[in-house]
Amino acid sequence: MNIFMRFYHRLASPRHFYQIAGQWIPWLGAISLILLAWGLYEGLLVAPTDYQQGESYRIIFIHVPAAWMSMFIYLIMAIAGAINLVWRMKMAEVVLVSSAPIGAVFAFLALVTGSLWGKPMWGTWWVWDARLTSELFLLFLYLGIIALHGAIEDKRTAGRAVSILALVGVINLPIIHFSVEWWNTLHQGSTVSVMGGSKMDSRMLRPLLIMSFAFKFYYGMILFMRARNEVLDRERNTSWVRQIAEGKAS
Amino acid sequence: MTPIRKKRLMLVGLMVGAVGIAAALALTAFNDNLMYFYSPAEISAGEAPSGHPIRVGGLVVEHSVNRQDDGLTVAFDLTDNNKTIKVNYTGILPDLFREGQGIVALGSLNDKNVFVASEVLAKHDENYMPPEVADALKTAHNDGIAQQAARSLAQ
């Protein structure tokens, strides 16, 4: 067994995950904080003013990374859901249910910052165009997953139910991404693309990417914290959790 | 992979595929309803429904904006570089409204084929750059047009 498979199998065991995640949390938090400070400094003070929107465009440094995260986290959840359905892996379930509230927060943040940006630029807080509506649907999917998981008493049954819901909802991700190409929308097209180069000055693009990495590390930190709690709750009758509870181990 | 896992994997794939097809069919069926606005060409061709308010989106034609004395009523031409329609609007315009800007107006055509709008929203593009870069691009664009004109004159 090579080193990667061994690492994978260790993470798949709740007990080892609890220990490894505990070691990683401070590092993820520190990296996230540094990137956040750096990204905000570059975004708010270094990046030039936009030719069309003046200073108002700077909300992009929160809005776009938050929107990306809301989709990225959902993709992670759908993959975890598929792994759980096929391999019945406990940790995949933990990752799925622990990610849902974080994803919901990012979707909410994307909608709120978008609304605050839309009022001065477009002239309206909200329109029912394809991009905005599909992102709102994503928020509802997150809330549905949280509610469904809470409504079912048995954890394994609940895990399987939310796995299916997460997988069904994944079809919304390409719809959100391509909504601005498939239909006429008030929302503008994609600025940043992996393949085709970005329609943004490099001094503006850099803080945007820094912020998106800051959010990724932040997600990693919160995910590990929530997943550790979830693991403790699920394994509360095992001896290793009892040892932690009695203060004999950490 | 054990046979039971292989079967589960296939079921998962089948489920995502089926939901994908269902979503694609539904979105294609409701394609017209998902369009946020019509273009002036579509309205000229009579493709937009009549009888209830519709949205039209396009670029404000340069030098076409005409403000009335009351300061609130404005008339301008809207184009998609194919067809142009006249728009009348009374109210507060968004800050980004200017000649050459993309906008979306909600309203309906009156009997003189003038689009009477009750709401005008600005639509900005996906490009972000500092003003000096925008100026440089514009200068380069104009130079390019001038050069082309000079070349075609020389021929």
Range of the domain at A234: 27-249
What is the C-alpha separation between B96 and B62, in angstroms, rounded? 15
The reported pLDDT for the residue numbered A43 is 93
User: Which residues, other chains included, contact A104 with Cβ-Cβ below 8 Å and sequence gap of 6+?
Assistant: A139, A142, A143, A146
Establish how many alpha carbons lie within 13 A of residue A129's alpha carbon, considering only the half-sphere containing its beta carbon.
30
Q: Find residue B66's DSSP bridge partners.
A: B75
The reported pLDDT for the residue numbered B68 is 86
Please state the ipTM of this predicted complex: 0.83
Flag if B31 and A122 touch (Cβ within 8 Å).
no
The reported pLDDT for the residue numbered A249 is 64
Nearest CA in chain A to B124: A188
User: What is the average per-residue pLDDT within A127-149?
Assistant: 95
What is the C-alpha separation between B88 and B117, in angstroms, rounded? 6
What is the C-alpha separation between A242 and A102, in angstroms, rounded? 28
What is the C-alpha separation between A228 and A225, in angstroms, rounded? 5
Flag if A121 and B122 touch (Cβ within 8 Å).
yes
Nearest to A86 among B12, B119, B126 (CB): B12
What is the C-alpha separation between B37 and A127, in angstroms, rounded? 11
User: What is the average per-residue pLDDT within A133-140?
Assistant: 96
**A1 pLDDT more than 60:** no
**A104 pLDDT more than 60:** yes
The reported pLDDT for the residue numbered A250 is 57
What is the C-alpha separation between B153 and A231, in angstroms, rounded? 78
The reported pLDDT for the residue numbered A110 is 97
Q: Which of A7-11, A137-141, A243-247 has the highest mean pLDDT?
A: A137-141
Nearest CA in chain A to B31: A183
What is the C-alpha separation between A153 and A158, in angstroms, rounded? 7
What is the C-alpha separation between A180 and A178, in angstroms, rounded? 5
Within-domain flag for A50:
yes
Share of chain A above pLDDT 70, in %: 98
Flag if B8 and A86 touch (Cβ within 8 Å).
yes
The reported pLDDT for the residue numbered B111 is 82
Q: A155-169 and B3-29 helices cross at what angle (nearest 10)?
A: 40
List the structure tokens of A61.
Answer: 């440094």
Kindly list the averaged pLDDT for each block of 10 residues, start to end, along chain B of length 155.
88 93 92 86 82 88 88 89 91 87 90 89 88 83 80 73
Within-domain flag for A8:
no
Residue among A66, A84, A79 at smallest CA distance from A138: A66
Nearest to A50 among B35, B38, B128 (CB): B128
User: What is the average per-residue pLDDT within A197-212?
Assistant: 89
Per-residue pLDDT tens over the stretch B84-115: 999 999 988 888 888 888 999 999 888 888 89
List the structure tokens of A191.
Answer: 């600025």
The reported pLDDT for the residue numbered A11 is 75
Domains contained in chain A, number: 1
Nearest to A190 among B31, B126, B128 (CB): B126
List the structure tokens of B2.
Answer: 């054990």
Average model confidence (pLDDT) for chain A? 92
User: What is the average per-residue pLDDT within A112-118?
Assistant: 95
The reported pLDDT for the residue numbered A201 is 87
